[in-house]
Chains A and B, each alone.
Chain A
Amino acid sequence: MKKYSLNMLLLLFAIGLLFAAHFRVIDSYIQIVVMTVGINIMMSTSLNLVNGNMGEFTCGHAAFMCVGAYVSSVLSVFCYGTKFGEPLLPAASVVIVFPVILLIGGAVAAVSSLLVSVPSFKTRDDYLAIISIAVNYMIISALENMDFIGGSRGFQGMKDTVWAMVDIFDGPWMMFWVINFTFFTVWLIRRFISSTYGKGVNAICQDEVAAEIMSVNTNKIKIINFMIAAGLAGCAGGLYAHIIGYVNPQSFNILKSTEAMVMVYLGGMGSLSGAIISAIIFTGLLEVLRSQAIVDGLLSPITFMFPDWEPSAGVIKWVLIPLLLVIVMQFRPEGIMGNRELSDVFPRLKKFYRFK
Chain B
Amino acid sequence: MMAQTQTQAQAQPAPVLEIREMTQRFGGLTAVNNFNVKLEKNQLTGLIGPNGAGKTTVFNLVSGFYQPSEGRIFVNGKPTAGLKPHKVTSLGVARTFQNIRLWNDMTVLDNIRVAQHYWLGYGFFHSVFRSKHYLRREAEIAAEAEELLEVFNLQRFAGELPKNLPYGIQRKLEIARALSTHPKLLLLDEPAAGLNSADIHELIRLIRWIHERFDVSIWMIEHHMDVVMELCSQIKVVDFGQTIAEGTPDEIRNHPAVITAYLGDDKI
Contacts and interface: CB of A to CB of B under 8 A. Distances in A.
Interface of A: 188, 191-192, 195-200, 202-203, 206-207, 209-219, 224, 228, 339, 356
B240 interface: no
Interface in B95-115: 95, 97, 101-106, 110, 113-115
22 contacts: A191-B130, A196-B138, A197-B124, A198-B127, A199-B113, A202-B103, A202-B114, A203-B103, A203-B106, A203-B114, A206-B103, A206-B105, A209-B65, A209-B97, A209-B101, A210-B103, A213-B63, A213-B86, A215-B116, A215-B118, A217-B117, A339-B105
Contacts of B115: 214-215
A197 B126 CA distance: 10
B119 to A, nearest CB: 8
Given A196-B141, A199-B113, A213 B89 contact: yes
Given A206-B106, A217-B86, 14 more contacts: A191-B130, A192-B124, A195-B134, A196-B117, A197-B123, A197-B124, A197-B126, A197-B127, A198-B127, A200-B117, A202-B103, A202-B114, A210-B97, A339-B105
B117 A210 contact: no
A219 B113 CA distance: 19
A197 B89 contact: no
Contacts of B117: 196-197, 200, 214-217
Contacts of A218: 86
B120 interface: yes
A215 B178 CA distance: 10
A271 to B, nearest CB: 12
Given A188-B128, A215-B86, A196 B114 contact: yes
Contacts of A215: 86, 89-90, 115-118, 181
Contact of A224 (B84, B89, B124, B181): B124
Contacts of A202: 103, 105-106, 114
Nearest to B181: A215
B169 to A, nearest CB: 17
Chain A contact surface mostly: helix
A203 B86 CA distance: 13
Contacts of B89: 213-215
Contacts, number: 94
B177 interface: yes
Nearest to A218: B86
Contact of B127 (A191, A209, A217, A339): A191
Given A213-B85, A215-B181, A196 B120 contact: yes
**Interface footprint category on B:** 35 or more
Nearest to A227: B124
Contacts of B113: 196, 199
B131 to A, nearest CB: 11
Interface of B: 63, 65, 84-86, 89-90, 94-95, 97, 101-106, 110, 113-118, 120, 122-124, 126-128, 130, 134, 138, 141, 177-178, 181
A202 B122 CA distance: 18
A216 B117 CA distance: 5
Of the candidates B95, B116, B127, B141, the one having the most CB atoms from chain A within 10 angstroms of its own CB is B127
Nearest to A198: B127
Contacts of B138: 195-196
B228 to A, nearest CB: 23
Contacts of B110: 199
A214 B104 contact: no
Of the candidates B116, B122, B128, B141, the one having the most CB atoms from chain A within 10 angstroms of its own CB is B128
Contacts of A203: 103, 106, 114
Contacts of B124: 192, 197, 224, 228
Contacts of A197: 117, 120, 122-124, 126-127
Nearest to B112: A214
A45 B57 CA distance: 41
B84 A212 contact: yes
A211 B128 contact: no
A215 B114 CA distance: 9
Contact of B181 (A210, A211, A214, A339): A214
A18 B86 CA distance: 49
B105 A211 contact: no
Contacts of A228: 124
9 A-B pairs with least C-beta separation: A215-B118, A195-B127, A210-B101, A214-B115, A206-B103, A215-B89, A216-B117, A197-B127, A212-B85
A191 B128 contact: yes
Given A206-B105, A207-B101, A356 B130 contact: yes
Of the candidates B102, B104, B114, B116, the one having the most CB atoms from chain A within 10 angstroms of its own CB is B114
A322 B84 CA distance: 43
A199 B103 CA distance: 11
B84 to A, nearest CB: 7
A216 B104 contact: no
A184 to B, nearest CB: 10
A33 to B, nearest CB: 30
Contacts of A211: 103, 114
Nearest to B145: A196
A18 B63 CA distance: 57
A200 B101 contact: no
Contacts of A192: 124, 127-128
Nearest to B180: A214
Of the candidates B94, B95, B120, B126, the one having the most CB atoms from chain A within 10 angstroms of its own CB is B120
